[in-house]
Amino acid sequence: MKRRAIAVLALSNLFFFISPVISNANSSWHWVTSSPVNVLPFAIIFTLAIETAAVVLIGRIPDLKKSLIVISLANLFSFLAPALFRAIRFYPVSGSLSLGAAFNKGPYYIVLTGYLVLTLIVELPIVYWLLRKDTRKKLNLIIAILVSNIITTLLVAVCERLICVGSW
């Protein structure tokens, strides 16, 4: 069991190091086709389904409804965290706290490695802390949370690149 945890940790770290991050200094980003916010409902449905299935089946949580609620809450926090930080940073410039502008002004919704790290930092403690008493296999729960978040974040990133096109 320890070898599996080490293997999962090694694969997680591998994803962090092989994912390229491109930085552009031009601030005139615009979506050519459509904003990823338009694809968001589908991403939410698939993410919740995959993560709930993983937690219930791999993490061995017997209560499907509780799992879905906890995972929905954790995903909400991990989705709003970057927008809230961006809106707070723009407050001195814009004069107001606008979450809408945080989503639509710039390529800041783009799913990259940082988004995956933020998702794991936010979701892992929430889901684990709220569901740890419902399983006998706590390590399986941690593995289910990590692996399902990595898979769903990668799927959303790929779908975002295929469906939504933007340029500088």
- Crossing angle of the two packed helices 113-131 and 64-94, in degrees rounded to 10: 130
Least confident residue range of 30-34, 74-78, 104-108, 160-164 = 104-108
Give the domain range for residue 91.
35-162
* Cβ–Cβ under 8 Å, residues 115 and 82: yes
Q: What is the pLDDT of residue 106?
A: 52
Whether 28 is covered by a domain: the verdict is no
Whether 1 is covered by a domain: the verdict is no
Q: What is the pLDDT of residue 146?
A: 96
When divided into structural domains, the chain yields a total of: 1
The phi, psi pair for 112, rounded to 5°, reads -130, -170
The H or E element that residue 149 is part of is: helix 138-163
Q: In this predicted model, what pLDDT tens digit does every residue of 89-142 receive, in sequence order?
A: 777 776 777 666 666 655 555 566 777 888 899 999 999 999 999 999 999 999
Whether 23 is covered by a domain: the verdict is no
- The pTM (predicted TM-score) of the whole model is 0.71
Whether 86 is covered by a domain: the verdict is yes
Whether 12 is covered by a domain: the verdict is no
As a residue count, the chain comes to: 168
Q: Copy the structure tokens of residue 61.
A: 């949580």
The phi, psi pair for 152, rounded to 5°, reads -70, -35
CB neighbours of 39 closer than 8 A, spacing ≥ 6? 159, 160, 163, 164
Q: Which amino acid is at 39?
A: V
Q: Copy the structure tokens of residue 33.
A: 């086709």
Whether 5 is covered by a domain: the verdict is no
25 pLDDT more than 60? no
The phi, psi pair for 26, rounded to 5°, reads -70, 135
| Distinct helix (H) and strand (E) counts, the chain | 6, 2
Whether 30 is covered by a domain: the verdict is no
Whether 29 is covered by a domain: the verdict is no
Give CA–CA dist 79/72, Å, rounded. 10
